Amino acid sequence: MEVAYRGVRIRVLRGDITEVGVEAIVNPANSLLIMGGGVAGAIKRRGGVEVEEEARRYAPLPVGEAVATGAGRLRAKWVIHAPTMERPAMRIDVQNVREAVRAALRCAEELEARSIALPALGTGVGGVAARDAAEAMVEELRGRIDAGTSLREVLLIGFDEELTKAFEEAVKGLLTP
């Protein structure tokens, strides 16, 4: 699925965020910036341990802040680490997702990134329902675009069918006339 919203191309894809060709990918991190499982673990496996080693220099990084590191062997230029939780494997609520997305998009602006990919933040060990996370993420994205952005392309990556459908429904409901 693809839509244009105020000059920004937004695409919903099902797949592996570590394989997409964008300038920045978002890691839904923990504040300690330990990249163990889920999306973080996949980024570390594909990008290399140097991504985690560089990120750990910024720990602890509170929820609501984000930091960019190199992307190692990934196709991306940067990994934006945006904590959704304080410690690994914590349960969170949708407000943490909102804060992490805002921080990630702010960081992308500071980098003057033109393209970014985001996974469904908080839906793994965080326990946020796919629909709730997707709606919060798309609302935050809409707010950033409405305020003005360097971004020209945003990929919302669903790892499975449920996450992909949640993103599609949120985009249809919030970004199409």
The enclosing H or E element of 106 equals helix 94-111
The enclosing H or E element of 117 equals strand 115-119
DSSP secondary structure of 135-149? HHHHHHHHHHHHH--
| pLDDT for the residue numbered 74 | 98
pLDDT of 150 above 90? yes
Q: Give me the mean pLDDT over the 22-42 stretch.
A: 96
| pLDDT for the residue numbered 63 | 98
What share of the chain in percent tops pLDDT 90? 96
Please tell me the distance from the alpha carbon of residue 123 to that of residue 136, in angstroms, as a whole number.
12
Q: Give me the mean pLDDT over the 15-35 stretch.
A: 97
What is the rounded end-to-end Cα distance, in angstroms, of the chain?
15
- What six digits make up the tokens of 113? 């990134």
Residue 88's nearest CA partner among 121, 50, 125, 127 is 125
| pLDDT for the residue numbered 130 | 98
| pLDDT for the residue numbered 176 | 84
Burial bucket for residue 131 (CB in 10 Å: 0-12, 13-18, 19+): middle
> Would you give the DSSP letter of residue 26?
E
Q: Give me the mean pLDDT over the 108-127 stretch.
A: 97
Residue 163's nearest CA partner among 8, 65, 39, 46 is 39
Q: With cut-offs at 50, 70 and 90, classify the pLDDT of residue 153.
A: very high
Q: Give me the mean pLDDT over the 101-122 stretch.
A: 98
Q: With cut-offs at 50, 70 and 90, classify the pLDDT of residue 66.
A: very high
Please tell me the distance from the alpha carbon of residue 102 to that of residue 159, in angstroms, as a whole number.
21
Q: Which domains does the chain have, with CATH numbers?
A: 2-175 (3.40.220.10)
